[in-house]
Structure formats: C-alpha cells, structure tokens
Structure 1
C-alpha cells in the first residue's frame, strides 16, 4: 500500500473553507495525504492563514491538520498535474463525448492501483457550484461520474473526495497487477499536444475556429493509447521533422 503516497487530490477553484477541511479528513481516513489547491477563492486563502485560531478548514479537518499544513497551492491545473502519470477528472455532467474514458469509481480505482506504483496519480475535483470546465476535464485520461439519484445528482465536494478515496483504498487492499508499461507524465503530454496544435494549424488541417475541436479529437484518440515517455518523444520527433521538411522541402 506504499503507493497511496502517490495519490494526489487536486481541488480546483474551491469556494468553501469547510469543504477543504472535510476533504482533508476524508483523505486521512483512507491513507492519502497529498492535497493541492488550484486557484482557490480568496475566502479559502484567507481562512487557511488564520490557523490555528478561527479557521473553518482546520475545524473540519479533525485529525488531518497535517494535510492542511502541507498542502500545495498553485494557480493552474497544469501545474498541479505536471508530474502525474494518470489524471482522473470528476464531473456530474452527462455528455456523449469526452477526451478520456468514462468509468465507474470502482473501475477508476483499479486503474489507479495499476499506475500509482509508477508515480503520481491526480484525482481532480472541480468547483462546488460548477465543477470542472470542459478544458479542464480534457486533461484527464479517465473521467468519473459518481452514480447518484436524479432527485439530487450533485454531491458535496468533500463527499465526492471521500467516495473516490474510499474506492482507491479498497483497491490498495487487494491490488491488481501493476501496469507493465510506464506512462508518460502530463508535462510531456502537454508539450506534445502543444507541438501537435501548432503542426495541424500550420499544415492547414484545421483553421483557428476548428482547431480546439481537432485537438479534442486527437486527445480522445491518444488518451486511449496510454503513451509511454519514449512514445511521446518519438511522436514529437516526427512532428518536428515533418515541420522541417515542409519548410525546406528536403532531408537535412
């Protein structure tokens, strides 16, 4: 179960300090301690600096104060997931097309248990009022929608964190065989998709209006491939050489 230390909970745009504390307590219940906040609302920032007196987050983080003491705060989701080998996004919205595979919490946990021995896995949760944006969800290889009653489909943020941490902990108790191939980190994937965006625009495959749609389709295709670091480097080399050839018309 040592790989539980590689599980990172990422909360994007958090609005309520109490939810931060309750989420930390849920993480502590299931042996997960790496908490990152992405661009939290000012009231959250202010609350956290009021520790030990007057902080609602610390009041709710019963026996999990250390997680709040050591949390990381960054301004972009990209910074929070840069070294992750697998990103799991969460959503309450039902859509037909996502760039990542839509899976159940239990299926997600099994995949996390395969990848986490390699390195960091990020579980990403969105804003209390609106969740993750489409662009944020597109950074995920796996997407989880927790089944709930139609009468009340939306979960409290801390409840969602608890449920996914519970499933991951359950998978840690009886883990599947680890993944055989090491997955590329998100920073390498970002660099590749940046190269790809420039490439398909320059060759006229998509204009500015259709470029985001084209990139989403490529993401959907390539997320299925579970690219390794070497494969990402190979693809970037292919793009660079193709661009050079298109400009010079001959081999170097």
Structure 2
C-alpha cells in the first residue's frame, strides 16, 4: 500500500487536484496533516467525480507521527537542492522501483510539503529517501503537479527487482523511538553537545535510513544503548 501524505496543505482545491492525480495512477490512500482549511466544494470540483472517493476516504491527522504510523519506508519530495539530507537522494525515476519493492514489506509513505515552502528539515529527516524533482531552473512545482509526477513514476515502476530478500523493515515509529534513545545517549556520553547535536543526529539518521533496519535490528540497537547505560552506571554488570 502506498500512502500519499500532504503536510499542512493550504488550499483545498490543491488537495482535490492531487486526489485526481493519485486516482489517475492507482493511488487511493490520502492523509492530510493539519490542513489549513477543510475540504470544500472547490476540492471536489478539482478532484472530479472520478476521484471523489479519494477525498471522501482521506484521513485528517494532527501530526506527522500519526500520518507515518506503520510505514516501513518513507519518501520525502523536494524540488530544491539542500545540504545534509538524512535520506538517500535520488530522482523519482531512480527511486520508484524501490518504492514498488518496499510495498511488499508494508505501507510506504510519500511526503509532500506545503505549497509555499515545502517540508521542513525536521520533516525531511523522517525519510529513508529524498526524491528531488528536477526542474528547468524554476524550482517551484504546484502541489498537484508534484503528486502527479511522483504517482506517474511509481505507476511505471515494476516490482520485479533483483534485491536480496531481507526482513521487514522497522516501522517509522520504531525508528523514532530508537533515534530518541540515541539522541539522549549521545548527550549522556558527551559524544556531542547541544549545538552540534542536530548535525550528528542527521548523520546517524542517514546511516539508519540507508540500512533499512528491521524491527529486530532496531530492538537490538536499543538494547545496546540500555546495556551501555547500565554498564556506565554499574561498572559493567549485565542488565536483563
């Protein structure tokens, strides 16, 4: 299952046009994170009758955590070049086959940002991959255009990939619990300080996203952090 997540959309009509683009290419699960305005007649007019069901079934949630719940693979989209992404950077055409393959493991979330300034750095950090949409110099796509382009590439991609079979990747919320533990641990052992913490965590997120850690691997890493804390406090005794 592929989940399209629109973060804080401003215009209902853009949501309607995005729903139509989704329907064109077989995507039907739409999640709206804290939209500025509720869906209205303009949204349904832009969706047309054929995609009205996408709007009717769309979920509205308050936070990105809720939107990503259960997702095993997260893609953030951007038309702009930035430095220091946590996820692997590629084009939609390069990344679409991986998305198709990952749907066999669980839900995949495609993140689209606000019409005026896209996704924040913190939201981009949640993604295993960042899809940069190439443009001819004017890097400002309409929200529905971006959804259409990404949905088209995913539709064209084929799942017949020669990837080595691996365990089901950890869900987004499992990874966030691990990152929270790791962040506290890095401060505790003075690996970094509060001023450099963001950059350090982005580097570790990048490694974890590229590794596609399984649920079991995440639990082992969290166990390692717990045992390390215990060893520091108790001189090396083992914690059960």
Q: Once the two structures are superposed, what CA deviation does each residue of 1:156-212 show, in whole Å capped at 9, x if it has no partner?
A: 10000011111111114x642466112111111001001101111111111222221
Q: Once the two structures are superposed, what CA deviation does each residue of 1:194-252 show, in whole Å capped at 9, x if it has no partner?
A: 11011111111112222212111111122121111111111011001101111122313
Structure 2 partner of 1:234: 220
CA distance in 1, matches of 2:118, 2:156: 25
Q: Structure 2 matches for 1:151-162, cutoff 5 A?
A: 152-162=138-148
- From 8, 19, 26, the equivalent of 1:24 is 19
Structure 2 partner of 1:77: 64
**Residues 83 and 18 (structure 1), Cα distance of their counterparts in 2 relative to 1, 3 Å cut:** same
Structure 2 partner of 1:218: 204
CA distance in 1, matches of 2:134, 2:217: 35
Structure 1 position 82, deviation (Å): 2.1
- Name structure 1 gaps, 5 residues minimum: 1-5
CA distance in 1, matches of 2:66, 2:164: 25
Structure 2 partner of 1:130: 117
- From 1, 8, 12, the equivalent of 2:7 is 12
CA distance in 2, matches of 1:118, 1:220: 20
- Name structure 2 gaps, 5 residues minimum: none
Q: Once the two structures are superposed, what CA deviation does each residue of 1:101-150 show, in whole Å capped at 9, x if it has no partner?
A: 11111111111011011110000000000000011001111101111111
Structure 1 partner of 2:134: 147
Give aligned pairs, total.
Answer: 236
SS for the counterpart of 1:102 is: strand
TM-score by length of 1: 0.90
Paired residues of 1:113 and 1:176 also in contact (CA < 8 A): no
TM-score by length of 2: 0.94
Structure 1 position 72, deviation (Å): 0.8
4+ long deviations beyond 4 Å: none
- From 159, 169, 193, the equivalent of 1:207 is 193
2:101 counterpart of 1:114 = yes
SS for the counterpart of 2:157 is: helix
2:165 counterpart of 1:180 = yes
CA distance in 1, matches of 2:129, 2:164: 15
Structure 2 partner of 1:3: none
RMSD, aligned CA? 1.3
SS for the counterpart of 2:72 is: strand
